[in-house]
Amino acid sequence: MHDVAKHDDSKGQYFWVWGALLFLTAVEVWLGYRQVFEPVRMLQVLLLLSVIKSALIIGYFMHLKFEKAIMRWMLVISVTGCFVIMYFFFFPDADRVKPPPSGVGIGQKS
């Protein structure tokens, strides 16, 4: 019988992870509100920070870090593979179409 995932039961590390997640959120808010980068670069930076945050949540809060290697790799590779396929499906087309001038939406005159 396999029991509930056993791992390092020190609660301190979860408070650290929680603090790190709040800190990264504060960094995101600062970057977003100050508009530090242009939109495409901002999208990339925010996505990178989100991936770091999601890795902390999956690894620690969801305990995947403490599961068997085969389960870790099966889940990570399969989901990441699907996202990579989605990326190649969507974004070459996004580059093909040039955006209209800033501040003008589709259907509006410039």
Partner 1 sequence: MADATLQHNAAAAHGVAGEYEAPLFGAYSKKVGMWLFLASDSLTFGALLFAFSYNRIYTAWPTPFGKESIINATIMTACLLSSSLTMVMAVFAAQRHDSSKTRLWLLATMVFGTAFIVLHGMEWTHLIHEGLSLPAFPKPAGQLDTEYAKISKGVPQFAATFFGLTAMHMLHVTIGVIYLGVVALRKWFLPILGVIYIGAYFAIPADNVFHYAVHALLIGLIVSAVILFLKPKDYDAHDVEVSGLYWHFVDLVWMFIFPLVYLMSTKI
- Residues in touch with partner 1 (CB under 8 A): 1-2, 4-5, 9, 11, 14-15, 18, 21-22, 25, 28-29, 31-33, 35, 39-40, 42-43, 46-47, 49-50, 53-54, 57-58, 61-63, 67-68, 70-71, 74-75, 78-79, 82-83, 86-87, 89-91, 93-94, 97, 99-108
Answer left, alpha or beta for residue 35, where phi above 0 means left and psi between -120 and 50 means alpha: left
CB of 30 to partner 1, least distance (A): 10
Answer left, alpha or beta for residue 4, where phi above 0 means left and psi between -120 and 50 means alpha: beta
CB of 47 to partner 1, least distance (A): 8
CB of 22 to partner 1, least distance (A): 6
Distance CA 59, CA 45 (A): 21
Measure CA 96 to chain center: 25
The CB density around residue 94, as the number of other CB atoms within 10 Å, is: 9
